[in-house]
Structure 1
């Protein structure tokens, strides 16, 4: 049975898009391969004594800037083809590693080939700033401005942020009040409409007479496949300021500060939602 034009067109669009992506990815790898090959050739000839004179400073500067621009452009194009997908537990492919580290390797080899042994200060003044720039470009290529995702790992990262208290109905709809006095935490783990897991919980933090500060913890077991966006709302107890001071894939920590010190033993109850940043749009 043959497909109609309306049915086959989306499939053709998808095939054409994938074909263009493959072509661009192959071009990026080819350009980096040529850059590395140029670096190898320069190093071999330099170490073999074939180069008896240094490049003029203007020619060396042009070579360094163009090489750095090519390496940076290759990373930008590659990331446009294969964007980050941290929320889904994305880990870097061999292509990411090859483009990220291969471009830096090519720059170092070109530097050695053009300037070894680097006895002139002018050579360092040309290459060192560009290598530092390349270092930050490579970091951004891997983590997209989020160092906690470097090398595909979710690192323990302390994030101190003032939080806006939410409408209690937004979080409370998915959680229940603590039903028994001896219950200090109640946690629900659900799968939302977009397929991402989310955790909704109610926590109770104890304050003794004269106490004004307390710390609350909640654990996520097994850990979430992403570092969640945390939203909290105080639902009981004396007025308190709440800060999220640590957000991890396996739990979170909160600091609570009462408006005035507790006059007697009391509790502060908070509802929280730990959701994928993709689901919350943050």
Structure 2
């Protein structure tokens, strides 16, 4: 297998998505890729256990991607070795009536991970500068002052929102949340093939919605807005990674390894040391337990 440098997928300057790959050849057989993923996720699971005991950091994993990019299956495969108490997955759908009574970031604040835990956002706060740009009429549901119709939305509206999002991420990062954002970059042809499989395989029929085809018609708009959002909000404390997603196994491995490469740099994450008094009496406690009747 070729050496993987996950920094190659980290966005540190302006990018054009059209210049980036949707497929990567790891020079490895499928079994080798799956074995490497298994090794990485076990290492992540061990680190999460240590992080839970350390109780100083939390981790927020943000996943974005076009329909069929593999977010759900990636979550299942990458995090399946985790202790269930250590990871919570939030799938954000269309805001409900209660959520619409608050600002657009409110529901995301509520879902932030506790110290020692991971949270995975399956679709994220970035929907508010992606879907709403493709369908600006959705903004009207927020009942914002001064916006009664689409034409009332200021030209700098989404630019301001992206700045608000960047500030939100900076704030939580400065308070102990490690923020990592991943765009699963799928080609239009691969999406077509995956949609066809949903129609052709009975067990996957339930996943198909005519709305998938409607949104596919906005493919180029979405990519333009993804590019703008990534360029505007990738920062050292909350970086974006653009992960080639045409090969699901390779995508899962790259994402898992990117998480590991970042978290393994936190050398202060360790199990708490026992109180000196407890240490000094370890033999006493062992004898007491061993001599129980």
TM-score between both structures, scaled by the size of structure 1:
0.23
Bigger strand share: 1
| Rg comparison, structure with higher value | 1
TM-score between both structures, scaled by the size of structure 2:
0.23
Q: Considering Cα pairs closer than 8 Å and 6+ residues apart, tell me whether 1 or 2 has the greater RCO.
A: 2
